[in-house]
Each structure stands twice: as C-alpha cells, then as structure tokens.
C-alpha cells in the first residue's frame, strides 16, 4: 500500500488487520528510516526523508523475504522525534497468510516489488495531505505545525511528484481517501474480496 504522506495508508492497513486479524502481518517502511542521530538537532531537521536513500531498503527487503518464507523477524523501532533507531530494541513480527507493506516509497524498492502480488495506491488531494500530516506530526512526532508545513512544501511534495505519483500507473487499485473520518467502504469491500481471492 503506497501513496502520499497523509493519504491513509496506515489507516487502511489497520482496517484490513481488523477484518483479517491474525491472517495479516503489517510491515511499515517508516521503521526502516536510516538513523541520523549522529547529526546535530538542526542538521537532522534538514535531512530529506522523502527519497529512497533515506531508508534501509536492503534490510526491509531481507525482512520481507523472511516473512514470505514463514520466518519471524526483529523489526527495528524508529523514533521520529529524534530521527534515530532505538539501539538494541526490536519488535518481533511473525509471518502470516497476508503481508501488508505500508510506505510512501515501497515501489522504489525493486527487490520488494518482485515479491508483491498486488499494489494499492492511496490517493488524496494536496490540501488533505498537508492537513493530516500536520495533525499527525504535532500529535505523534513532536513537531510544530510551522515546521511540518515548511517541510511539506520544501521536500515532501516535490519528492512525491518524482517518486510517488508515477506509481499510480502500475497499481491494481487506486483507493480514493479524500473523506475524513472513515474509509470508502465500497473500496474496502473490493479490496477484501481481492485479498480473499489471492489467498
């Protein structure tokens, strides 16, 4: 599940997890951001996290292959407030029938693409994306709204035009998530049926 930042990727993943329960494992690319704790706080704010090289794609793909081979993984824990990976701490992720990948740049990882069965793109307007991202960053990532809006227009939006938007052309489902507060139930039903047919 790919799409713009703030498009509802994680919300959709959690909805599907609620439906399929233990038959679903969610693997989020966000936890594979590269640790930049060696930089000063001011320098960290300038790092562009909206390009493929900002992530440890090799580790992500390695973990995906293990899950597909029915092996558990130790997923890293990334702290978005400090832009660092928690040293010596992991989350044990068990394999299941369905593996959902969640991330803005997962379609930039060729090794991951070769392991995918279906591709979903979460689509939403620019206004909604910046509004949702500002709320999330304020609540979950220790950021101020001014910083989030500046980052959105300086790096997030331009990088997404390059790396994210073109992926719509190769996706099996374009999921319209413009409405706040709830997912499009008709599209959820279509997606649920598609997953059932796949397994």
Q: Is 51 exposed, middle or buried (0-12, 13-18, 19+ CB in 10 A)?
A: middle
Q: Which of 13, 193, 6, 189 has the alpha carbon at shortest distance from 101? A: 13
- In the chain, pLDDT over 70 holds for what percent of residues? 87
Output the average pLDDT for the chain. 86
- The yes-or-no verdict on residue 167 having pLDDT over 90 is no
Tens of pLDDT, residue by residue over 38-68, are 998 888 878 888 899 999 999 999 999 999 9
User: Looking at residue 98, what is its pLDDT?
Assistant: 95
Per-residue model confidence as pLDDT tens digits over 113-134: 889 999 999 988 766 766 666 6
Rounded to the nearest 10 degrees, the angle between the axes of helix 9-20 and helix 185-198 is 60
């Amino acid at each position: 599940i790919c799409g713009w930042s703030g498009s509802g990727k994680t919300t959709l993943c959690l909805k599907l997890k609620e439906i399929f329960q233990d038959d679903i494992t969610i693997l989020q690319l966000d936890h594979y951001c590269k640790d930049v704790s060696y930089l000063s706080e001011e320098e960290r704010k300038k790092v562009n996290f909206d390009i493929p090289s900002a992530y440890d794609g090799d580790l992500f793909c390695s973990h995906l292959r293990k899950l597909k081979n029915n092996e558990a993984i130790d997923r890293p824990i990334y702290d978005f407030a400090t832009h660092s990976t928690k040293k010596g701490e992991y989350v044990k992720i068990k394999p299941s029938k369905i593996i959902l990948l969640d991330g803005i740049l997962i379609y930039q990882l060729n090794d991951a693409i070769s392991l995918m069965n279906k591709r979903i793109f979460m689509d939403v307007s620019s206004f909604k994306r910046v509004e949702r991202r500002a709320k999330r960053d304020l609540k979950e990532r220790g950021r101020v709204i001014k910083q989030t809006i500046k980052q959105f227009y300086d790096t997030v939006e331009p990088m997404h035009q390059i790396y994210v938007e073109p992926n719509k052309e190769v996706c099996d489902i374009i999921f319209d998530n413009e409405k706040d507060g709830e997912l499009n139930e008709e599209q959820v039903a279509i997606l649920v049926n598609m997953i059932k047919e796949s397994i």
